[in-house]
A = this chain, B = another copy of it.
Amino acid sequence: MEAVAARAGVSKSSVSRVVNGDATVTPAIRDLVIKAVRELGYVPNGAARSLATQRTNAVAVIVSDPPKGLVCDDPMFSTVVRTMSRLLEAAGKQVTLMLAGSPESQLRVEQFVAAGHVAGVMLVSMHGADPLPGSLARMGVPMVSLGRSVSGVPYVDNDNVGGAAVAVRYLHSQGRRRIATITGPLDMLASQDRLTGYRETLRDTGRRSIVALGDFTRISGAEGMRQLLDDDPGLDAVFAANDLMAIGALHALREAGRRVPDDVAVVGFDDIEAALYTAPPLTTIRSPMGDQAAAAARLLLGLFEGAPGDPVIMPNELVIRESA
């Protein structure tokens, strides 16, 4: 910077002003500086800038990362992270990706944020009981959660209750009368909401719930399905709380010799890529992750400008394919 100042024959302050787009600079000086910057290939030092301004343009994207490497949201990871990065980068933010799984990584995240390294935080698919949102919220850093969280953090989510309701209503409208469900892990709010949607809708139709517990993995979908078949051999439909489990259910049904959708109809949730390739292709509730990620990014960016940060809930859409 000193070199630039010297070359342009001005002071460091002027260089700083030009570089930071300060309006109060004589065009002549501005041009001189710009020329010098270009000639010297000058790039400002962010560390020094952060130190001087006590600000940063980094944003942490914190992804919950279960120790076992559960897949719950994996098919979405690319969409979510790419979409957010694109928007955040376009807004001049620098994306710092952090995995929050083990207690150590939790600590690392907290320290990192506490150290003031980031201007804001995006929480991605936190579990309901996760202590991180709470402790970060206490630090007062602008924060948005993708997927409903606890502790009053602004969030973006899809309409889990409504989506499940649509699935069940559709099944009912097709003449299905014994509609079961396979749930996600109940420590996740999304799972709870989908179960609620299923329960309430079923109750409205005067039918009883038939529930198996799953954990959003394919395996658990297959197991849940087998158990459901055991419990109630007469069931004619199943709503799986995500597509991965629906795919597992499809396999279990085939094993059991039931035809889909003739004997048993299957509806999933999420509309992941793989839902297109199953046999038969999966009827599912599309929850638009790209849109949600974008909304979350915009919400955080808005927070920086002092916007209120009201929750955003995106509607879901029933995608009818051949499994129901």
Residues of A within 8 A of B (CB): 41, 43-48, 50-51, 56, 58, 61, 63, 65, 69, 74-75, 77-78, 81-82, 85-86, 89, 94-99, 105, 108, 111-112, 114-117, 247, 273-274, 277-279
A277 to B44, CA, bound (A): 51
- Within 8 Å by CB of A89, from B47, B108, B114, B278, lies B108
A81 to B247, CA, bound (A): 25
Residues of B within 8 A of A65 (CB): 82, 86
* Chain B residue nearest to A85 in the complex (CB): B99
**7 A-B pairs with least C-beta separation:** A279-B279, A77-B78, A47-B50, A274-B274, A43-B115, A47-B51, A97-B97
Residues of B within 8 A of A47 (CB): 46-48, 50-51, 56, 117
Residues of B within 8 A of A69 (CB): 82
A278 to B45, CA, bound (A): 51
A149 to B115, CA, bound (A): 37
- How distant is A131 from chain B, measured CB to nearest CB, in Å? 17
* Contact of A115 with B51 in the complex, beta carbons under 8 Å: no
- How distant is A294 from chain B, measured CB to nearest CB, in Å? 13
